Amino acid sequence: MSRVWNFSAGPAVLPEAVLRQAADEMLDWHGSGMGVMEMSHRGKEFTAIAAQAEADLRELLVVPANYHILFMQGGAIAENAIIPMNLLGDKRVADYVVTGSWSQKSQKEARKYAEVNIAASSEASGFTAVPAMAEWTLSADPAYVFTCTNETIGGVEYPFEPDLAQIGRGDLPVVADMSSHILSRAIDVSKYGLIFGGAQKNIGPAGLTIVIVRDDLLGRAMPHCPTAFDFKTVADNGSMYNTPPTYSIYIAGLVFQWLKRQGGVAAIEAQNIAKAKLLYDFLDASDFYENRVDRACRSRMNVPFFLRDEALNEAFLAESKAAGLVQLKGHKSVGGMRASIYNALPLAGVEALVDFMRDFAARRG
């Protein structure tokens, strides 16, 4: 067996130790005589798996007691509708900060349910930066302020936490799409009203959506919000109102255990800083490649880069693949290349990428 270095933006690489454990437990989980996929979601085995996963996530992110952790489905894109349906309440307006493709898509979907105010946008500069909070024009009475704290496609990450208390609006709930950098760095959950993310970037398999929501935001759903997507119903039923994505929750739980063995979020953040520094320093020192994102807002997880001679793109992709480095093609809306270097992609993978890029530049430059 030989595994490649996988730079996919998502679904993405998982820790090898997790895949091996899942393989070992595939036919018989802990002497139950069943694999996890075959278990009733209400049986004692799976109930224990889900409770442990939730407790580990709570510990890793230091989630305060007044926040619920929900295991949902539909991915981040479904949350773009589920969130306004749940949080608008008796208000009309929701504020959106647009920093790239994902927050753009979010505000478009929200228009089906809410009057959307674009509080700030970096579109004019090609989505290469995050507008400072001092430049946000919040409306008078929004239900919430929506952010995407890591734009997976543009490779733009917030260099600050959107703590609205700093601009005198600490009463407003901040919503954050953290799909592609959740658990990659320490955050202060108490600064947010709601955090969400699809699991398939930095947590586990597709099919699971994580929602972390503050108590007081439950119970406001629109009458026509599907019952299975009403946060209060999901919370009241311990994420088992409908059958949850059981196998995805199990793998996510193994990833949480793996993260704890690595030393938790602080330790993985230190590794992520080192990985990102290696790649960005190499790009900045090169006259063959470039990254075009504002330095302060460069994502540690998703690193888009360009060959200055784009005629070499196809050769770069073919040769990198032959060298065991896969999924480096950039998103079609940005072009060029993108290396996603999530928690589960070790430093050795980034070293292999940089070695290949240096060699390619030497041969083709």
| Helix residue spans in the chain (DSSP H) | 16-24, 44-61, 75-87, 101-110, 231-236, 246-262, 264-285, 313-322, 347-364
Name the minimum Å distance from CB 100 to ligand PLP.
8
Nearer to ligand PLP, 200 or 320 (CB): 200
Name the minimum Å distance from CB 152 to ligand PLP.
3
CA dist., res. 309 & res. 336, Å (int): 10
Nearer to ligand PLP, 201 or 220 (CB): 201
Nearer to ligand PLP, 200 or 286 (CB): 200
User: Which positions lie near ligand PLP, rule CB under 6 A?
Assistant: 10, 75-77, 102, 148, 152, 177, 179-180, 198, 201
Residues 212 and 196: beta-carbon distance below 8 Å: yes
Q: Return phi, psi of residue 340, to 5°.
A: -90, 125
Residues 156 and 297: beta-carbon distance below 8 Å: yes
Nearer to ligand PLP, 10 or 193 (CB): 10
Name the minimum Å distance from CB 179 to ligand PLP.
4
Q: Determine how many CB atoms are found less than 10 A away from the CB of residue 161.
A: 17
Nearer to ligand PLP, 79 or 230 (CB): 79
* H helix or E strand, kind and range, residue 290: strand 289-290
| Active site residue ranges | 102, 177, 201
One-letter amino acid for residue 291 of the chain: N
Measured CA distances, 324 to 7, 37, 317 (Å): 11, 31, 11
Q: Return phi, psi of residue 198, to 5°.
A: -70, 145
Name the minimum Å distance from CB 365 to ligand PLP.
33
Name the minimum Å distance from CB 72 to ligand PLP.
11
CA dist., res. 256 & res. 14, Å (int): 11
